Chain A
């Protein structure tokens, strides 16, 4: 099978032409990458097809604060297929003011080695 994606590693934005196969266990393996001007593009293509990672941002409720919400984000990428599982964990959380940007709201969410951190001060 074949897919074209735009590489986002650098402003060149190379169009990557990727040949891949879907194995019996549902996993994808890349067989060839064309169109990349550098090796990072190839690495990006393989990662995107075999184990895509994403950062997500949302918000948590705050009690006793000047604002009802504190925005949060993952401090490192998580597997794309776990996005909604992580969102479920984020939705469970209410924190009490004050919250400072950088505060760890959920440590090592779902054992993925990634923290959910606050990105806004709420006093």
Chain B
């Protein structure tokens, strides 16, 4: 079995939008000894299967499909001849930044000065939800269904029930309908939809697909293939209400019930994790608690807009370049914590000496929201958002000049 051992300044795990944006920026900052490791056979990440448009509105002022947005960054990567290997799965990253990857030709070991984690996220599954019933074929997560249709030219089924009003589920409701399937309905366990209003309008209302809030799948029937699902109304504790069961014959159940940053490698490297984001705790350089280990994109926290992913990855690259060129980065000892109505913030620690980009999500919809960044009683920054939604990440710059002598920042939304 062939083995390859090498040394690189930077290894990037994952050649999707975050990894590619980081690679291009790193190169342009003078760090050229890079290696991108990508587990699929092509670069581009999840964008390859997101063929609908709406990508790049802020970045390029155009509404592109996922593959077109990815192509912009793939072209820049190829133009600079930045080395990459596909069909390679990273299986371990040590705290000393040794990256071990599996390829059909054998193991690859790369000792890096800095490692950039841009592995993206995966989908929550039926097993994680513990939906009772039999286990026939025909139960897929929305991203898998999207991959079947858009990459492999396979229809998952014809009579579809969708559980979860996440954006991917709604996008797939439209995709399946356009290809001739009948989407019976979208069922959401919460009392409010989890995806964007734009998608409810253009993916569900446009095609007369009903959306039922406060409902969930309480049983599944079928031996070899799915034959029906049972839908129940749920109470305020999200538990099925007995007596409200309704059975829907169908051959496919699509699950769009949450995205989880894919952090096995991050945990293996010893990085401290944030329970709110399910990603690593990072500072304003996107550096984790392990020096020289950085993270950006969906692996850090799930994004709604790839335009923001690119920005985040470029900010990371600035930090990683400085790390490689100078050997270390300034200490980030000032914590940022969540106050009222804020679910999470990125970063969680700052120097307090530089401007930084703050990202956050609110826990519930708030009209005319005021986002406040406070140090004790002192207001450091404030932002007004007309309609703050959990489904829409909020990002703004906090200026260094307001950060003198801060000791702890709390971000809240009212």
Binding site for B on A (CB under 8 A): 5-6, 8, 11-13, 54-59, 61, 67-69, 71-73, 80, 83-84, 87, 101, 119-121
Contact = CB atoms under 8 A, between A and B. Distances in A.
B275 interface: no
Contact of B150 (A5, A6, A71): A71
Contacts of B153: 59, 61, 68-69
B177 to A, nearest CB: 9
Contacts of B408: none
A66 to B, nearest CB: 9
A121 B44 CA distance: 12
Interface of B: 48, 51-53, 63-65, 67-68, 71, 149-153, 178-179, 197-198, 201-202, 206, 386-387, 392
B198 A8 contact: yes
Contacts of A87: 178
A12 B392 CA distance: 12
Contacts of B206: 54, 80, 83
Contacts of A119: 51, 64-65, 67-68
Contacts of A57: 51-53, 65
Nearest to B41: A66
B67 A58 contact: no
A64 B206 CA distance: 36
Contacts of B68: 101, 119-120
B132 to A, nearest CB: 36
B51 A71 contact: yes
A103 B145 CA distance: 26
23 contacts: A6-B198, A6-B201, A8-B197, A11-B386, A12-B387, A13-B197, A13-B387, A54-B206, A55-B53, A57-B53, A57-B65, A58-B179, A59-B149, A69-B151, A69-B152, A71-B51, A71-B150, A73-B53, A101-B67, A119-B64, A119-B65, A120-B48, A120-B67
A8 B201 contact: yes
Residue with the highest number of chain B CB atoms closer than 10 Å, among A13, A83, A119? A119
A57 B392 CA distance: 23
A5 B189 CA distance: 23
A71 B178 contact: no
Contact of A71 (B65, B152, B198, B202): B65
A121 B71 contact: yes
B152 A68 contact: yes
Nearest to A8: B198
Given A58-B179, A101-B67, 4 more contacts: A13-B387, A69-B152, A83-B178, A119-B65
Nearest to B149: A59
Contacts of B51: 57-59, 71-73, 119-120
Given A59-B51, A68-B153, A13 B386 contact: yes
A71 B153 CA distance: 11
Contacts of B152: 68-69
Contacts of A120: 48, 51, 67-68, 71
> Could you say which of B151, B178, B197 has the most chain A C-beta atoms within 10 Å of its C-beta?
B178
A55 B198 CA distance: 13
